[in-house]
Structure 1
Amino acid sequence: MRRFGQVIRIKPDRVEDYERIHAAVWPEVLETIRACNMRNYTIFRHGTLLFAYFEYIGNDYAADQKKMAADPKTQEWWSHTDPMQEPVEGGGEGEWWTNMKAIFHTD
């Protein structure tokens, strides 16, 4: 199992919309997240910074991410959420959510 931490910014005028839509995530989107081997997926907000945490239990992260990106319902979901977000400075080329470096963990 791999742990991921990711960050992105939310546009200040879209905070309420973002929280509202995430209060009722579409079941098909949740099914795709699970089918792509992501568990314990959580998004936190501090001001305009969003922090996502999830655990990946699969064997091919890149393939599972492609599978997620190809899902029509997930694409529709992203068509609503992406305009509310903007990548943080210093992210990698082509990254929307920026992966963070893990520096500490304890069970």
Structure 2
Amino acid sequence: MNLLPKKYCAGFTFFKDGELEQYKAANAEMPSGTLDTLAANGATNLSMFTAEVDGKDVAFNHFRLDSPNYYKPFAKAAKVPQIAEWFGKCAQHQQPHPFSAKQGKMWRALEPVYFTEGNKSEPKGPVRKVAAVTGLKFEKEMQYRTLHLTPWQGVLDTIAKANIRNYSIYLTDIGDKLYLFSYFEYIGDSYKKDMEAIGDCPVTQRWWKHTDPCQIPLPTAAAKNEIWTVMDEIPWGAQLK
């Protein structure tokens, strides 16, 4: 099965209009010990990324989770006054998804639709985290989900050979549209060459003929004849091991 293991989670929220830079400044004031506190409560290797989607700056986070609940590590960490204050400062520049707002949450836990462990080798150098976003056609949701429940072995092998690990895809709705967010860790030492090798694989090319028609590229990707828009990382200061 290629359903996402419980040890990985992802979430989504908006930034208030024009306040992305203010958020980054607030985020940079993370209190000492915050990552250790989150790790003690089950959340490690936190990553955050941003991109513009339908004219709004959005945030996508991803982390390893040893708790059965996406929100639990953050709720426990918020019992530390300094961390709670920092969470509050960051939240001033964020705007929750309407569904999350009804639940009293700032972040929305995303639904996983795909995961492959990929390459199990030791990293050849610093690990590179990559996240991306694209649209999904409503009428193609079932097809896309079904394809990713039954991925082709040749595609999985190509991902692993390209020095990619922990490749996952998540789904959410934003307004009346569907969006896919992806995340992977690159552990090789020749990123451009490895990414080109994926596109050169005949099996992957045939796979894309099924998946690409399901998706709606964002304008930035469409202008380059691409499907996915790579997101910008917002550093958390966590080192990947």
Q: TM bucket by the smaller chain?
A: over 0.9
Partner of 2:206: 76
Whose relative contact order is higher, 1 or 2, with alpha carbons under 8 Å and at least 6 apart? Answer: 1
CA RMSD of aligned residues (A): 1.5
Partner of 2:234: 103
What TM-score do you get using the length of structure 2 for normalisation? 0.42
What secondary structure does 2:232 align onto? Answer: coil
Of 135, 140, 160, which residue of structure 2 is paired with 1:34?
A: 160
* 1:23 partnered with 2:140: no
Read off the aligned partner of 1:98 and give its amino acid letter: T
* 1:89 partnered with 2:216: no
Aligned residues: 107
- Tell me which moved more, 23-32 or 94-103: 94-103
Gaps of 5+ in 2: 1-126
1:92 Cα offset (Å): 7.7
1:90 Cα offset (Å): 3.5
Gaps of 5+ in 1: none
What secondary structure does 1:59 align onto? Answer: coil
What secondary structure does 1:25 align onto? Answer: coil
> Residues 36-64 of structure 1: CA distance to partner in whole angstroms, max 9, x if unpaired?
01100000000210000000011111111
What TM-score do you get using the length of structure 1 for normalisation? 0.92
Tell which structure's C-alpha radius of gyration is larger.
2
Matched-pair identity in %? 38
- Return structure 1 stretches of 4+ with deviation > 6 angstroms: none
Distance in 1 separating the partners of 2:128 and 2:149: 26
Distance in 2 separating the partners of 1:90 and 1:49: 15
Of 178, 183, 195, which residue of structure 2 is paired with 1:53?
A: 183
